[in-house]
Amino acid sequence: MLGVRLTAAYDGAGFAGFAAQPGQRTVQGALSDAASAVSGHAVLVRGCSRTDSGVHAEGQVVAFATARELPPERWVAALNSQLADDVAVRDAVSCAPDYEPRFDAVDKTYRYLLHVAEVRDPLLRGRAFHLGRLLRGGRSLDLDAMRAAAALLEGTHDFRSFRAAADARENTVRTLLSVTLEPGHAGDPALWAIEVCGTAFMLNMVRILAGTLVEVGRGKLSVDDVAALLRGEGSRADAGMTAPAHGLTLLRVTLGRAQASPPAP
Amino acid sequence: MLGVRLTAAYDGAGFAGFAAQPGQRTVQGALSDAASAVSGHAVLVRGCSRTDSGVHAEGQVVAFATARELPPERWVAALNSQLADDVAVRDAVSCAPDYEPRFDAVDKTYRYLLHVAEVRDPLLRGRAFHLGRLLRGGRSLDLDAMRAAAALLEGTHDFRSFRAAADARENTVRTLLSVTLEPGHAGDPALWAIEVCGTAFMLNMVRILAGTLVEVGRGKLSVDDVAALLRGEGSRADAGMTAPAHGLTLLRVTLGRAQASPPAP
């Protein structure tokens, strides 16, 4: 068997998340079906990030084992011809057949988009969280307070208050390498990007971090409140809302390349 | 009767164009239905640009007459509560009841987005023209040649070769104030924006200009070929393709404000 590692992009709107589930259209299912069709045998692709239902990706990493011998660059066109237009393979390289992208990921970067405007924008629909009525009296968000809170989130902390109740993992300590805010993203003054890079995440963690930063920007939570949550004072209910899935995109994954083999000839 | 002038934005994918047509969902129809519901009587909104089916807008201008007395800013929320999420009113001001935005438009600016990449991007689907197989051997477009052709298009010319066959107007002389190219639009190196500002346009004209610039970028047409077309040598068949509607957005309209009255108290 040969191994193939892919970078994939998708619009999350049409998928019940990444992870395969019976009777649901999922990204893992769609990519596995395409890889199976090209391979001529059943394939289950392994992913790097189990993105929630509705979450987008520009740089999800998946890998699979196949009996089909194809130069890696041929896999891109072969798989894309099998895929619907809301998911695409961007590049392909050879890897070990048992390569596990999840274990090779050094860090992952997510971007959360806020649409900071009273009136909705039809062209940002499904891509950014429209704050609308959350902006009282047409006011914007307090960028300085949000940046101060973002700086506190960086580093190694107990993020137990920033995960979904359904996440039952015992170790809730995680390391965020950077949390940055970019107002005016993509040239649109009303579009604010929150970019979070970390080594590992818990269920809904980035969406809860985004929701918490929104509450800091609105003055509903203070920077001190966030500091207290990171000290383990309080619980999930004291952090911000889980911001909606459609504002979130998995941008890229840094791989250790420990298990990746050189490109096929 | 009172007059209201609106700026409207829409995702063109769900509309059979701006102009009302029986049995079709159109932007003019949707805005008229919303204005009728709020007014309590039948209203037909008048637009500034009859955008084609599938074309988007960030700054379409429409106006209508109403018996309903509402402060202009209240119209924004009242209309948006009646509209589906693929169309929105961005702002509203008072105007004369018989104000005709089409006659008050000094110039209109359109943006055409090209996705200059071999592999498609699901997150640009419906927003940019993916060149894909038009890029032979993975090559990009010749930006210098495209910019030289764009510079030729600026000014007052006979654009008879740059309009749809269905456009039967006798006077085919139009003035383009600027035609610019921006590679790396919105921070994406593969996204090239063509921005066209002009005083008046013919049917499909911006899409044919975009298609012609693509052919110049691919080396299928030379800058001299474009110069010859502008001198009246050749015909529609000698210009480039009509680039697909989903790449085009009406960005903004400059109004003369001759007929606009001051904001209501």
**pLDDT, tens digit, 9 for 90 and up, residues B166-208:** 888 889 999 999 999 999 999 999 999 999 999 999 999 999 9
Q: Do A122 and B80 touch (CB under 8 A)?
A: no
Catalytic annotation, pick one of B11, B33, B52, B167: B52
Q: B139: pLDDT confidence band, cut at 50, 70 and 90? A: confident
Contacts of A89 in chain B (CB under 8 A): 119
Instruction: Say how far apart CA A88 and CA A27 lie, in whole Å.
Output: 10
Q: CA of B28 to nearest chain A CA: how many angstroms apart?
A: 16
Characterize A237-252 residue by residue with b for buried, 16 or more Cβ atoms within 10 angstroms of its Cβ, and e for exposed.
Answer: eebbebbbbbbbbbbb
B90 touches chain A (CB under 8 A): yes
N- to C-terminal Cα distance for chain A? Answer: 16
- Report chain B's mean pLDDT, rounded to a whole number: 94
A186 touches chain B (CB under 8 A): yes
Note the helical H segments in chain A: 27-39, 72-80, 101-104, 143-153, 205-217, 223-230
Length of chain B: 265
The C-alpha angle B98, B100, B104, rounded to 5 degrees, equals: 135
* Position A260 pLDDT exceeds 50: no
- For residues A15-43, give the mean pLDDT: 97
Q: What is the structure's pLDDT at A241?
A: 95
Name every residue whose Cβ is closer than 8 Å to that of residue B219 and which is 6 or more positions away in sequence: B142, B145
| Phi, psi angle pair for A229, to nearest 5° | -60, -40
Q: What is the structure's pLDDT at A257?
A: 65
Q: Do A86 and B122 touch (CB under 8 A)?
A: yes
Flag the least confident range among A131-135, A193-197, A260-264.
Answer: A260-264
Q: What is the structure's pLDDT at A264?
A: 41
B106 touches chain A (CB under 8 A): no
User: Which pLDDT tens digit goes with each residue over B99-109?
Assistant: 999 999 999 99
Contacts of B87 in chain A (CB under 8 A): 122
Instruction: Say how far apart CA B51 and CA B12 lie, in whole Å.
Output: 9
Q: B257: pLDDT confidence band, cut at 50, 70 and 90? A: low
Q: CA of B240 to nearest chain A CA: how many angstroms apart?
A: 26
Contacts of B89 in chain A (CB under 8 A): 119
* Position B259 pLDDT exceeds 50: no
Tokens of B68: 């309903």
Name every residue whose Cβ is closer than 8 Å to that of residue B175 and which is 6 or more positions away in sequence: B155, B156, B198, B199, B200
- For residues A35-55, give the mean pLDDT: 97
* Position A261 pLDDT exceeds 90: no
A11 touches chain B (CB under 8 A): yes
Residue of A265 and B176 predicted with greater confidence: B176
Q: What is the 3-state secondary structure (H, E, C) of A36-94?
A: HHHHCCCCCCEECCCCCCCCEEEEEEEEEEECCCCCHHHHHHHHHCCCCCCEEEEEEEE
Catalytic annotation, pick one of A11, A52, A104, A225: A52
Q: Do B185 and A187 touch (CB under 8 A)?
A: yes
B99 touches chain A (CB under 8 A): no
* Position B35 pLDDT exceeds 50: yes
**Which residue in chain A has the smallest CA separation from B83?**
A122
User: Which pLDDT tens digit goes with each residue over A90-130?
Assistant: 999 999 999 999 999 999 999 999 999 999 999 999 999 99
User: Which pLDDT tens digit goes with each residue over A67-101?
Assistant: 999 999 899 999 999 999 999 999 999 999 999 99
CA dihedral sign of residues B129, B132, B138, B141: negative
A205 touches chain B (CB under 8 A): no
**Which residue in chain B has the smallest CA separation from A191?**
B186
- Residue B192 DSSP code: E
Coil, strand, or helix at residue B265? coil
- Residue B261 DSSP code: P
Determine whether A52 is an active site residue: yes
Q: CA of B22 to nearest chain A CA: how many angstroms apart?
A: 24
ipTM of the complex: 0.90
Q: CA of B159 to nearest chain A CA: how many angstroms apart?
A: 31
Q: CA of B110 to nearest chain A CA: how many angstroms apart?
A: 15
Flag the least confident range among A62-71, A138-147, A150-159, A205-214.
Answer: A138-147
Q: What is the structure's pLDDT at B6?
A: 97
Q: What is the structure's pLDDT at A265?
A: 38
**Which residue in chain B has the smallest CA separation from A185?**
B186
- Report chain A's mean pLDDT, rounded to a whole number: 94
Instruction: Say how far apart CA A88 and CA B59 lie, in whole Å.
Output: 31
Coil, strand, or helix at residue A255? strand
Q: Do A58 and B11 touch (CB under 8 A)?
A: no
* Position A263 pLDDT exceeds 90: no
| Phi, psi angle pair for B106, to nearest 5° | -85, -45
User: Which pLDDT tens digit goes with each residue over A157-215?
Assistant: 999 999 998 888 889 999 999 999 999 999 999 999 999 999 999 999 999 999 999 99
- For residues A148-164, give the mean pLDDT: 96
